[in-house]
Amino acid sequence: MPVLDVNGAPVWRRRTTGQALLRWFGWLLGVAVFLFCWQRISDATTWFFVWDAPRIADDIWSRATPPRWDYITQLGRPIWDTFNIATLGTLISLCLAVPVAFLAARNTTPSRLFIRPIALLIIVATRSINSLIWALLLIAIIGPGVFAGVVAIAIRSIGFCAKLLYEAIEEINESQVEAITATGASRWQVMAYGIVPQVLPAFAGIAVFRWDINIRESTVLGLVGAGGIGLQLSASLNVLAWPQVSMILLVILCAVVISEWVSAKVRGAII
Amino acid sequence: MSHRELDDMLGKGWRKPPLVRHPVLRWGLVAGFAAYMVMAVLTIEVDWGRVYEGLDRGWQFILSFTRPDFMSRWGDIWDGLVESVVMTVAASVVGIAISIPIGLGAARNIAPLPVYLICRAIIAISRSLQEIIVAILLVAIFGFGPLAGFLTLSFATIGFLSKLLAEDIEAMDRVQAEAIRASGARWMQWINYGVQPQVMPRLVGLSMYRIDINFRESAILGLVGAGGIGATLNTAFDRYEYDTAAAILILIIGIVMMLEYLSGVIRARVQ
């Protein structure tokens, strides 16, 4: 225990002098890095616009309220498209994520040396790129539209679902697998009766969780042209129709809140 | 299981029990799902001719990953990457600093009811608005540049981190906090010695995770003009310079992998 000697009486301290110095230098370095970053941001900013911001914000607010309520009649189809992008994208990604997860889990992979790294690479690569970037890419390849959105969501979700699923597979109870193996079951039977029942609740939870996230993401995919309500949003923004923008934002907010509520209810029922 | 049931089952093959026990509910779910699928697939317009044409371009893109072009646009890529990293660092620091008091306020066992409600409201607002929509609004208010991206990421960090921190504080061990309080500690000392040591490992882990997310998000903020690598990436896609786009994507994946590895090491050390 580090103790400081003050006038012959020991006084408790949290850290030794060396530790305190080290921490001090760590903080100094952190603050320096932060100030450097702030300097770069500040250099790239037109401060006149920032000082003017309250007036602009006030101006936008006065234009955006009240929302154009009757515009909602035109939003039915885009919302349906958004819902489809999220749901179909999630379904496709689950179909692709299950084999990847089984190939990536240490206890089910056929080859730790060759196949597991490939599966992990697929997981990292699809996970680290945002669905908007996938949508950009797919629009360049297969043209704008809802289909590009579905595929973008599907690809983006593979990594997320497969990562959570393979972690669930690695945590299963091995004795159940052994019991099934002892009955003389084949590799596939062990899979179907020993492993799948154990990861099924986790799988359902992951699916609903990802669906919730995908509803959020698919509302903005239209900004780059991949269908859904984002198309209306970007069209309204381009013509500066602020009452329509605020109406669309309200609808998106409702969709997000409802999907989160559904997902919380379903996960509560499963787990 | 009674003797009667056992007698009935003897001599018959075992069948897997169905997932949903009630037959009407089971078949109702299947029928509803099938009906939805038919409707969803019918309403998605896919221009298969365009998709077929695009396959060639998709293949070109995949091929370009084998020969990424880092050099010809290196200046733009470097500027974009540095801006993304700068935004990530600054926004993470500010976001974490703000989310700690809000997280404390949103924990019911520490904060009085009015503070609790205000903090929870802030968290709910921050969580229900997506980054990209916040970025659009902030770009409209503050003008183009990394400042809007920095504010967006800080705002998103607050919702994410405060919520999880508050949940962790609510689940802490009361006894330790009470012991500190019984020694006559002031409020600050109580937080510092009774609460903080209990939640620190999780706070560090979550912060690392959020830095990772912030970097990934900073890659798309450029699409709406909020600074970062996204603008460069968008230009590369628009000009069909797939080699450059592949180079940027490889860099993003590389940095995300590095961050993930780093956060794994740090989390293993603090826990």
pLDDT score at B162 = 93
pLDDT score at A72 = 84
A127 domain residue, yes or no: yes
Selected for mutation to probe chain B from A12, A33, A41 (highest B CB count within 10 Å) is A41
- According to DSSP, the residues that pair with A10 across neighbouring strands are A5
What average pLDDT does the structure give for chain B? 86
Q: Is the pLDDT of residue B1 over 60?
A: no
Where is A206: in which H helix or E strand?
Answer: helix A196-220
Instruction: Report CB contact under 8 Å: B237, A37.
Output: no
CB pairs under 8 A between A and B: 144
Instruction: Report CB contact under 8 Å: B44, A125.
Output: no
A69 domain residue, yes or no: no
Q: Please tell me which residue of chain B has the smallest CA distance to A120.
A: B257
Assess whether A117 and A27 both reside in one domain. Answer: no
Assess whether A150 and A223 both reside in one domain. Answer: yes
For B257, the closest of A80, A124, A217 (CB atoms) is: A124
Assess whether A230 and A186 both reside in one domain. Answer: yes
Alpha-carbon distance A167 to A107, whole Å? 11
pLDDT score at A89 = 93
Kindly report the CATH number assigned to the domain that includes residue A224. Answer: 1.10.3720.10
A70 domain residue, yes or no: no
Residue B37 DSSP SS3 = helix
Please name the residue ranges forming H helices in chain B. 3-9, 23-43, 48-64, 74-105, 113-128, 131-142, 146-170, 174-182, 187-189, 196-221, 229-238, 242-270
Report the pLDDT averaged over residues B47-68.
Answer: 82
Instruction: Report CB contact under 8 Å: A41, B90.
Output: yes
Please name the residue ranges forming H helices in A105-195. 115-128, 131-142, 146-170, 174-182, 187-190
Which candidate, A58, A222, A244, A51, places its Cα nearest to that of A136?
A222
Assess whether A2 and A86 both reside in one domain. Answer: no
Assess whether A264 and A156 both reside in one domain. Answer: yes
Instruction: Report CB contact under 8 Å: B44, A249.
Output: no
Residue A263: band (very low, low, confident or very high) from pLDDT cuts 50, 70, 90? confident
Q: Please tell me which residue of chain B has the smallest CA distance to A218.
A: B130
pLDDT score at B97 = 93
Q: Is the pLDDT of residue B233 over 60?
A: yes
Which candidate, A149, A128, A138, places its Cα nearest to that of B84?
A128
Report the pLDDT averaged over residues B233-262.
Answer: 86
Assess whether A5 and A96 both reside in one domain. Answer: no
Assess whether A244 and A151 both reside in one domain. Answer: yes
Sketch out chain B's domains with CATH numbers: 73-270 (1.10.3720.10)
B142 to chain A: which residues are within 8 Å by CB?
45, 49-50, 53
User: What is the DSSP code (8-state) at residue B185?
Assistant: -
pLDDT score at B52 = 84
More confident residue, A157 or B53: A157
pLDDT score at B95 = 94
B83 to chain A: which residues are within 8 Å by CB?
40, 44
Residue B63: band (very low, low, confident or very high) from pLDDT cuts 50, 70, 90? confident
For B219, the closest of A40, A84, A133 (CB atoms) is: A133
Selected for mutation to probe chain B from A31, A56, A120, A132 (highest B CB count within 10 Å) is A132
A125 domain residue, yes or no: yes
Q: Is the pLDDT of residue B25 over 70?
A: yes
Please state at what angle helix A53-64 crosses helix B131-142, rounded to 10 degrees: 120
What average pLDDT does the structure give for chain A? 87
A49 domain residue, yes or no: no
Report the pLDDT averaged over residues A139-165.
Answer: 89
Instruction: Report CB contact under 8 Å: A40, B220.
Output: no
Tokens of B193: 């010695």
Residue A88: band (very low, low, confident or very high) from pLDDT cuts 50, 70, 90? very high
Instruction: Report CB contact under 8 Å: A44, B90.
Output: no
Instruction: Report CB contact under 8 Å: A252, B133.
Output: yes
A54 domain residue, yes or no: no
For A220, the closest of B43, B130, B142 (CB atoms) is: B130
Residue A33: band (very low, low, confident or very high) from pLDDT cuts 50, 70, 90? very high
Selected for mutation to probe chain A from B142, B167, B192, B258 (highest A CB count within 10 Å) is B142
Tokens of B50: 């365009």
Report the pLDDT averaged over residues A146-153.
Answer: 91
A169 domain residue, yes or no: yes
Q: Is the pLDDT of residue B118 over 90?
A: yes
Instruction: Report CB contact under 8 Å: A220, B133.
Output: yes
Amino acid residing at A136: L
A17 domain residue, yes or no: yes
Instruction: Report CB contact under 8 Å: A56, B140.
Output: yes
Assess whether A9 and A113 both reside in one domain. Answer: no
Number of structural domains (chain A) is 2
Assess whether A173 and A89 both reside in one domain. Answer: yes
Tokens of B235: 């230009």
Tokens of B98: 């703000």
Q: Is the pLDDT of residue A29 over 80?
A: yes
The phi, psi pair for B41, rounded to 5°, reads -70, -35
The phi, psi pair for A10, rounded to 5°, reads -75, 135
B260 to chain A: which residues are within 8 Å by CB?
124
Alpha-carbon distance A242 to A59, whole Å? 11
Residue-number span of the structural domain to which A15 is assigned: 1-42
Instruction: Report CB contact under 8 Å: B132, A38.
Output: no
Give whole-number Cα distances, B100 to A64, A227, B107, B119, B169, in Å: 33, 38, 11, 11, 11
Alpha-carbon distance B224 to B73, whole Å? 21
User: What is the DSSP code (8-state) at residue B172?
Assistant: S
Assess whether A100 and A224 both reside in one domain. Answer: yes
Cα-Cα-Cα-Cα torsion B29, B35, B39, B40, nearest 10 degrees, comes to 30
For A41, the closest of B86, B132, B233 (CB atoms) is: B86
Instruction: Report CB contact under 8 Å: A253, B150.
Output: no
Report the pLDDT averaged over residues B125-132.
Answer: 86
Q: Please tell me which residue of chain B has the smallest CA distance to A258.
A: B128
Question: Please, how many CA atoms are within 13 Å of residue B97, restricted to the half-sphere of its CB?
Answer: 8
pTM (2 d.p.):
0.83
Alpha-carbon distance A62 to A39, whole Å? 33
Which candidate, A59, A241, A264, places its Cα nearest to that of A249?
A241
pLDDT score at A100 = 93
Name residue, tokens 């154009």.
A68
Assess whether A123 and A21 both reside in one domain. Answer: no
pLDDT score at B2 = 62
Cα-Cα-Cα-Cα torsion A241, A247, A252, A253, nearest 10 degrees, comes to 130
Own/partner pairs, A59-66, CB within 8 angstroms, 24+ separation: A60/A242, A60/B137, A60/B140, A60/B141, A63/A242, A63/A243, A64/A242, A64/A243, A64/A245, A64/A246, A65/A243, A65/A246, A66/A243
Residue B4: band (very low, low, confident or very high) from pLDDT cuts 50, 70, 90? low
Assess whether A84 and A17 both reside in one domain. Answer: no
Selected for mutation to probe chain B from A58, A134, A136 (highest B CB count within 10 Å) is A136
Selected for mutation to probe chain B from A79, A183, A220 (highest B CB count within 10 Å) is A220
Instruction: Report CB contact under 8 Å: A40, B227.
Output: no
